[in-house]
Every structure is written in structure tokens, then in C-alpha cells.
Amino acid sequence: MSANINVEVVYALPDQQTLLKVSAPAGATVAEVLDLSRIVEKHPELNLATSKLGIFGKLTKSDAVVRDRDRIEIYRPLLADPKEVRRRRAEEGKVMKKGGGDA
């Protein structure tokens, strides 16, 4: 007899977070737990085949085996490239510092 494990599935939008607790058979994969969670019914816009997935912040594949109390995270695509945002901020900072202004 195989014991069940408890896993959380998390998906966050800018204005709401979905956290689902799932009981799955030991040895289940990320994909199997996502199917059991039925998260696509709550968020039909999700395409689990192309979404990046992680367990506790580390990227993982859908065929990875989950352990008891793991948290599967479904990541959204970034709206802006963080490197580009930092580069733009740094350029704006240089312009502001050069000005000096009247004291």
C-alpha cells in the first residue's frame, strides 16, 4: 500500500494568489499533481505545457517526482526584462547626477 503525500500548488497573478492543497500518491510527478489540483479549471488561461514550473523557487520539469510537503509553483512570463529595467534606471540616475542644479 502506497501512502499519500500532501503537496501545495501555487499560482500568483498581480491581484490574486491561488494556493491549492493536494493529496497525491507517493511517487507522483509534478504534472500528475497539477492534474489532480485541477488548477486549469480555475485559471483556463494557463498552458501547463509551456509554463515554467518550480518547487520552492527552483525551476523543475513536469516529470520530476514530488515529495511530501513540496510546493509546486507555476510561474508567469515576465512583463519586462529585469536587466533592461535596471539598465534604464542606471541611465536615468546618471542623467540626474550630472545635472547638479543650482544650490
Could you tell me the CATH number of the domain that includes residue 17? 3.10.20.30
Q: What percent of the chain has pLDDT over 90?
A: 65
Task: Return mean pLDDT, the chain.
Answer: 88
How many angstroms separate the CA atoms of 29 and 35, rounded? 10
CB neighbours (10 Å) of residue 19?
10
Q: What percent of the chain has pLDDT over 70?
A: 88
Could you tell me the pTM of the whole model?
0.74
Identify whether the C-beta of residue 17 lies closer than 8 Å to the C-beta of residue 10.
yes
Question: The domain containing residue 77 runs over which residues?
Answer: 4-99
Identify whether the C-beta of residue 74 lies closer than 8 Å to the C-beta of residue 45.
no
How many angstroms separate the CA atoms of 99 and 101, rounded? 5
What is the number of structural domains in the chain?
Answer: 1
